[in-house]
Amino acid sequence: MKATMATTDGASVAGLSGVAVVTGAAGGIGAAVARALAAAGVPVALLDRDVRALWDLAGELEGAGAEVLAVAVDVTDSADVDMAVAKVEADLGPVHHLVNGAGVLHAGPAAELTDEEWQATFAVNTTGVFHVSRAVSRVMVPRGRGSIVTIASNAAATPRASMAAYAASKAASSMFTKCLGLELARHGIRCNVVAPGSTRTPMLTALQGDAAERASVEGTPETYRVGIPLGRIAEPAHIADAVLFLLSDRSAHITLHDLTVDGGASLGA
């Protein structure tokens, strides 16, 4: 699905230009990032394996006049990813921005996690970031420009009970992104991390239902988890704002950075 938009004034105002690729675009933070980029006039490639939600979002953005391309892809499959990036380049244009937003969460005590849960978590949250970042960086390098943002988690630096697989996978993807950024800096490509805390998404609700938000804000002393000093959880748009800043020329001298957006929940860790 592709639609054109007559103006890109929003892109210049936001310090953004060129095509953006967003993985995990069909819902949650990924969808918020895609909407924000489209509102800024940036052509957006929407990548996700949830085909129905992907087409719904593409239709929504198309209806608002955005230039979008929806591509169903499994980020755990490197060949699938390579074909998706090639399609974006051919159908939408040169990729200048990447947001690694695809993620899964399998919660539970570390000793009770199954092999399948552990492997599935790393397959998406870590290996998926590797596959997409590798494919996109290969087309960015010859152009001598680009910006990559990986959406990780404050759990990557702050231990959380029942989140061992998720936290470990996010820590790995964060460090991968920074190592990649070190290698790509000489090519004019910046790589940064946004680490959200509790955010109002289906992933949070899936943890404990409506009680998850209250527990996040108030804290759970029995699991050594402090609450959120600002007294509220994040909205997906709050995370999207941080992502767009790091993608844009407004952060032109920032790379290898980890920007935590959690209302103070990790106490600055």
Q: DSSP secondary-structure letter at 248?
A: S
Residue of 19, 166, 189, 259 marked catalytic: 166
3-class DSSP assignment, residue 197: coil
Q: DSSP secondary-structure letter at 235?
A: P
105 φ, ψ to 5°? -135, 125
Q: Which are the contacts of 125, defined by CB distance < 8 A and separation ≥ 6?
A: 102, 103, 104, 166, 169, 170, 172, 173
Q: Which are the contacts of 51, defined by CB distance < 8 A and separation ≥ 6?
A: 72
Q: Can 166 be counted among the known catalytic residues? A: yes
3-class DSSP assignment, residue 195: strand
Catalytically annotated residues = 166
